[in-house]
Structures are given as structure tokens and as C-alpha cells.
Amino acid sequence: MTLRRLSSAINKPSTNDISIYRMPASLSMQGKGKSHATWIKQLNDPLQVIHPEIEDIIELEKARQWEGLEPIPSEGFSSLPVTQAVGSMITNEYSKGYPDAR
């Protein structure tokens, strides 16, 4: 139930005046000269610090998958080593196109 309520709230547009696609110039200039959080800190902080809402969604989905059996073969509960490997630096690299054209 909680996951459904949360997912239905995600699809609703935000009611605040700030666009999620473009930051107003007044807000982008506001932080000039002051560095509240550097990009290095943001890269190394855990997800629960940077995006607590996304962390909550992931935890709810993990609980949903753990509590029930999914008849869809493509959905499964991956092991901790697989989850860690997918979230490692290896996934930073990718290639496009056909193998002979690279």
C-alpha cells in the first residue's frame, strides 16, 4: 500500500514554482562564491544523504520484492555481490555502436 501511495505521488507534477528542468538564474547565482557541498562530497555521500526520497523508494521496492513471489521471470531478488557489482565503477564505462566500428 505504501509503495502505491508513494508511486502515485511521484507521477503528480510538483506544485512549487521551481522547474525540475531548469534552475532560475536567481537561484543559480545565489550560491556563487559559496560552496555548500562540493561535487566530490556529493559523489561520495550515501544515497540516503543526497536523495532520501529515492532511498525510501528503493527500500520500499526491496521490501515488496522480498515479501512476495513475482511470477514474472525478469523480476528477481539479486544477491548482495551482484548488487554491489552493478553499483561499482565498472558501470561507469560503456560503448556505443557495433563492435567493429569502435
Q: What is the pLDDT of residues 78-91, one digit of tens each?
A: 788 888 888 877 77
- What average pLDDT is seen over the chain? 70
What crossing angle do the helices spanning 52-67 and 2-11 adopt, rounded to 10°?
140
pLDDT at 62: 86
Please give the Cα distance from 42 to 40 (Å, whole number). 5
Rg (CA), the chain: 19
- State yes or no: pLDDT of 52 exceeds 60: yes
Q: What is the pLDDT of residues 25-50, one digit of tens each?
A: 555 555 555 556 678 877 888 889 98
Burial pattern 64-99, b for ≥16 Cβ within 10 A else e, equals eeeeeeeeeeeeeeeeeeeeeeeeeeeeeeeeeeee
- Percent pLDDT > 90 in the chain is 10
Nine-digit cell string for 13: 507534477
From residue 34, how far is each of 22, 23, 25, 26, 37 by CA, in Å?
Answer: 20, 17, 16, 15, 9
Burial of 17 from C-beta contacts in 10 A (0-12 / 13-18 / 19+): exposed
- State yes or no: pLDDT of 66 exceeds 50: yes
Mean pLDDT of 47-58: 92
